[in-house]
Amino acid sequence: MNIDFLKGVIVPIITPIDENELIDEESMRRQVDFVIDGGVKGILAFGSNGEFYMIEEDEMKRGLQIMVDQAAGRVPIYFGIGAISTKKCVRLAKMAKENGASGISILQPMFLKPNETELFLHFKTIADAVPDTPVLLYNNPGRVGYTMSGDLVEKLAHEVENIVGMKDTSGDITQTSEFIRRTRDVDFKVFGGKDTLLYASLCHGAVGGVCTSANFMPEMITDVYNKYIEGDLKGALEAQFKLNPVRLSMDKASFPVASKDMANLRGNKIGEPYKPNLKTPEGPVLYKIKEEMSKAGLL
């Protein structure tokens, strides 16, 4: 299985919706072009910032078809799976493969806290259902309430052929580094999951990052990666420092509202988040976002 394309900045693309909370096809196609023009190396459909937990399966299928069509082979499209039941995850994985996804990403089940054996069987069952498709694990302890262990990731990487990488959103650079160290003998591709730690993740051997900020400032986050790959470590670090205040300004807003707020501020016409979330109201939080975006030359 060729996995050379697993690298660079991948954007967990936001999902533009209309007043009926259906995917806005025109806006979705514009957003695909915007992030590709901004230099991303891949698009992750229905990740956390894509509000996967709000979207029905038929809408996910339609949205994936739109993204695959609009990308037209320019970058790979990955499909994010965040369901709890193994059966539903298998169904979504097969649907993604049938509709042109280049790979799938699987979040550990939320609400439940499966043990190591249960988690191993969960991920293996999904991967086995799409044996020719690259599978990425998605470790997000802040949202699901527990982390994948190094033991689990190492076992999956060594024993399940098409589990070939992961995104680590722990924000713990030691844990990211351990995932890399313990799987490097099988060419397991680890992506950082915190935009503010992209440079640090690359220094420890990550192949790239799955970065929210690529939705509204792709040119800035890809600059970190591109300079690092070119060997300009000082330039990459400075690019990281330039990006961080903008990214950190998002954290006072409701998750994942700020991603759409900031895309709208750049003129991308993304629309509002799915309810119960609402766009960030005028006040200190939005003021800080605008202030940092202006300082960075984004407005």
> Which residues are part of the catalytic machinery?
138, 167
Task: Note the pLDDT of residue 161.
Answer: 97
Residue 169's CB is within 10 A of a number of other CB atoms, namely: 25
- List, for residues 80-91, the tens digit of each pLDDT value: 999 999 999 999
Strand stretches in 90-227, DSSP E:
103-107, 135-139, 163-168, 189-192, 208-210
Strand segments, DSSP code E, in the chain are 8-12, 42-45, 77-81, 103-107, 135-139, 163-168, 189-192, 208-210
Average pLDDT over residues 203-224: 97
Q: Could you give the domains of the chain?
A: 8-250 (3.20.20.70)
Write the DSSP string, 75-87: S-EEEEE--SSHH
More confident residue, 103 or 187: 103
In this model, does residue 1 exceed pLDDT 90?
Answer: no
Return d(Cα 40, Cα 231) in angstroms, integer. Answer: 19
pLDDT band (50, 70, 90) for residue 222: very high
Other Cβ atoms within 10 Å of 35 Cβ, number: 26
274 pLDDT above the threshold of 90: yes
Nearest to 27 by CA among 213, 214, 269, 199: 269
Angle at which helices 218-229 and 233-248 cross, to 10°: 160
Please, which residues bridge with residue 134 across strands?
none
Q: How many helices (H) and strands (E) does the chain have?
A: 12, 8
243: helix, coil or strand? helix
